[in-house]
Amino acid sequence: MAPTMVASAILFVSMALLINAILSSRALRALENSAMDMQSFIFLFKLTFIIFIALLLMLYSGPLLVEFTNLMNGENNSYRLLKGSLPYKYIGYILGGFVMIFGSIGLVENKFFANGAWLSIIAVAVLTFLYDVPFDNLLLPPNGDY
Amino acid sequence: MGVLDHIWLGILAVFTSSPAFTIADVPISITIVMVVLGFLGGVIVGATPGLGGPFAMAISLPILISIFGFNADALLPVFGFLVGIMKGSTIGGAVPAILFNTPGTPDSLMTTLDGYPMTQRGKSGKALRIAHFSSVSGDTFSDIILITCAPFLAIWVEQFLDFPEKAALIILSLAFIAAVVGSNVWKGLLSALLGMFFSYIGTGEDSYPRLSLGSENIGEGLPLISAVLGVLIIGEILRALEEMWRETQKNKKITRVELIGDQKLKFEDIKRIFPFISMSAFIGTVVGALPGIGSTLAATLGYATGRKVYRGKRKFGEGAMEGVAATEAANSAVAGANLIPVLSLGIPGNVSAVFIILAAESIGGFNPGPAVFRLMPDQINSEMVIAFGLFTMMIFANILNWTFGGLFMRWMGIMIKIPKQKLLPIVLLLTLTAIYVQQTNMFAVYVTLFFGLLGYLMRKFSISPLPFVIAYILANNLEESMRQAFAVTGSDPWFLFASPISIIFIVISILVVIFFARNQKDLN
């Protein structure tokens, strides 16, 4: 019952906001000067793309590397077994984290500088050290999911 | 056990439990170490434009919980670090505002008005000292009010409020927060209602979880930390990144000014600024005690009041030291008073208080609310001991602030050199990592990003995210109180109107919304 009541209240408040905008004849002006213009959508699209690629790398770099190693050495290991050992333990987080930081810096600065890449590498290394090295019980992404 | 016994146990718990190391055979407890580390970290993040206390609290909370674990012994060290950040960031925010005309935190915006002109006149050292002195004075005053008022308010609430009144009180708090935060009452209400709606996902007393759409992950409920950090931190990062992206398109550059001048704070200066500090400390404390009204409004009110009574030669806004004092005392006085509704009612009033509640909920063993100060005959109330431990840590952090804070704060001018466009992507990854290590599930990361997008859109449409977060935290308490009130009144559907106190709370809730809605109309 509580969600239904809250959803009804959301509908009521949204209608009140809409009617208020129409009555004060600000609706058209508000649409013209909307906070979400085309630039916002372009920015969101670009950033979403960067984060999407970063998360893909984070999730699948480790398992893909295991598959590649299996193929090269004729073994039959799984990522679940190897996720505690190097380099599988860190590869997803480091690659995904690097793309997230370097991509976001490049997007905002409109250029991809070498110092941005170095900073991203250092930042990911520091974060890996901060979370993983001192604590045995913490799992970096995506190792808890496997 | 009496109140004094609990106070003494609280002090002992802070200073003697779990020694981290010894100095000249004197054991130094881990809690004290955490307050010091939090304080230093708070000054650093406060002085870093684009960051602030909430960022540091958000990032450090999962790490702290991982270090100290999920047991009652973890509460004081974790709270100590959060209190340290809270105290440190309030003074740190003034540094970039005074030196570089760039407020480190939103509530330091008014500090730029007189602080930066003082820097331009070569008085930056004096401006920083005034900011520090005023900030710490306001904070100390606010803490004294917290320590003396919160227990009595809690006892009053516990004595006079039953379930219907408690439900009505939560409704009043939510209505007040929705009405006073942000530019529009309806938008505030929308924000609070959205927070309530999302908090109901995966909950309920039915045999199946509510609103789960058949998903097992959603059925377990959305992680509280993902919702809070998503809306508050990721949403803000997305907004700030877009702002900088737009600036880069226009080739705008941040202007920089050389740091010059260094003058001491003299006794005559203190005499001049003291009336302004007193007024602002009072304003900040009153504003801080009301849920939802943040330090930015306190700073604005303190500054505006100071300007009205000021009769000096140099006008406010042209580098008057009284202007810096009025702003800094007001925004810092909010910090302590903001914990009054948390500790006495269990209602978080601002972002820092949200993180105290988040830490308490994550660790367990401490439920902020009126029951904290309940005295039990021949028994120790461990929650009251922790509450007095919290007060002790706040006093200790204030002592740090008075002694080393000023010096450390003046060193932090260097933080302005860290470019925001490089820092925020790192904070983005740091926040997502912090959430993952606590939840160990990519679903929590996706939920955080979803709430981040929601927080970004709310900011774009001038909808404050604070009512959302507070309603998200309180929604289940409200539902629980309502269920219990319904049961104790014998299934009376009008239980909210069953007693004079709950009627008064409901009437005030309606009046608050109408008053601020009308006021908004006038402003328009």
**Long-range contacts: B211-219, Cβ < 8 Å, 24+?**
B211/A3, B217/B441, B217/B443
pLDDT of residue B104: 62
User: B290 versus B252: which is more confidently predicted?
Assistant: B290
**How far, in Å, CA of B232 to CA of B229, rounded?**
5
When pLDDT is averaged across residues B354-370 and rounded to a whole number, the result is: 83
Among B200, B248, B249, whose Cβ lies nearest the Cβ of A2? B200
pLDDT at B257: 47
- pLDDT digit string (tens) for B464-502? 888 898 889 888 888 888 888 888 888 888 888 888 989
Percent of chain B at pLDDT > 90 equals 18
| More confident: B248 or A63 | A63
Span B177-191, average pLDDT: 83
**Closest chain A residue by Cα to residue B418:** A119
Write out pLDDT tens, residues A10-30: 999 999 888 877 877 665 566
Q: C-alpha dihedral over B9, B13, B19, B20, to 10 degrees?
A: -160
Phi, psi (deg, nearest 5) at residue A64: -65, -40
pLDDT at B259 over 60: no
Asked whether the beta carbons of B332 and B142 are under 8 A apart, the reply is yes
In chain A, the residue whose alpha carbon lies closest to the alpha carbon of B189 is A13
Using CB atoms within 10 Å of the CB of residue B489, give its burial: 0 to 12 exposed, 13 to 18 middle, 19+ buried: middle
Backbone angles phi, psi at A104, to 5 degrees: -65, -40
Tokens at B83, concatenated: 């209190």
Q: Which of B170, B59, B211, B177 is nearest to B496 (CA)?
A: B170
Q: Using an 8 Å CB-CB cutoff, list chain A residues near B514.
A: none
pLDDT confidence band for B220 (50 / 70 / 90): confident
- The reported pLDDT for the residue numbered B38 is 93
Nearest one of B408, B514, B455, B432 to B239, comparing CA atoms: B455
Sign of CA dihedral B374, B378, B383, B385: positive
The region of weakest confidence among B145-149, B318-322, B387-391 is B318-322
Contact B436 A141 (CB under 8 A): yes
> What is the maximum alpha-carbon separation in chain A?
72
What ipTM goes with this model? 0.93
- What is the arithmetic mean of pLDDT over A121-130? 91
Question: Residue B360 — very low, low, confident or very high, per pLDDT cuts 50/70/90?
Answer: confident
- Rounded to a whole number of angstroms, the CA Rg of chain B reads 23
Q: What is the pLDDT of residue B336?
A: 82
Q: Mean pLDDT in chain A?
A: 87
Phi, psi (rounded to 5 degrees) for B28: -105, 120
- In B148-173, which positions are buried (b, 16+ CB within 10 angstroms) versus exposed (e)? ebbbebbbebbeebbbbbbbbbbbbb
pLDDT grade, residue B224 (50/70/90)?
A: confident
Q: From A87, A88, A95, select the one nearest A56 (Cα to Cα).
A: A95
pTM of the model: 0.82
- Please state the rounded mean pLDDT for residues B436-463: 92
pLDDT value for B255: 46
Residue-level pLDDT at B242: 92
Q: Which residues contact A109 (CB under 8 A, 6 or more apart)?
A: A116, B248, B421
Q: Where residue A32 falls among pLDDT bands split at 50, 70, 90?
A: low
DSSP E strand stretches across B50-182: none
Asked if B251 is an interface residue toward chain A (Cβ–Cβ < 8 A), one would say no
Triad A34, A40, A41: Cα angle to 5°: 105
B421 touches chain A (CB under 8 A): yes
Mean pLDDT of chain B: 84
Which H or E element spans position B26? strand B26-29
Cβ atoms B182, B462 nearer than 8 A:
yes
Q: Which of B68, B185, B433 to mutate to test the interface with A (most CBs of A within 10 A)?
A: B433
| CA–CA dist B109, B505 (Å, integer) | 35
Q: How far is B393 from chain A (nearest CA, A)?
A: 26
The residue of chain A with its CA nearest to that of B460 is: A35
- Residues B1-45 have pLDDT tens digits of 778 888 899 899 888 888 878 887 888 899 999 999 999 998 888
pLDDT tens profile B378-427: 788 888 899 899 999 999 999 998 888 878 877 776 776 678 788 889 98
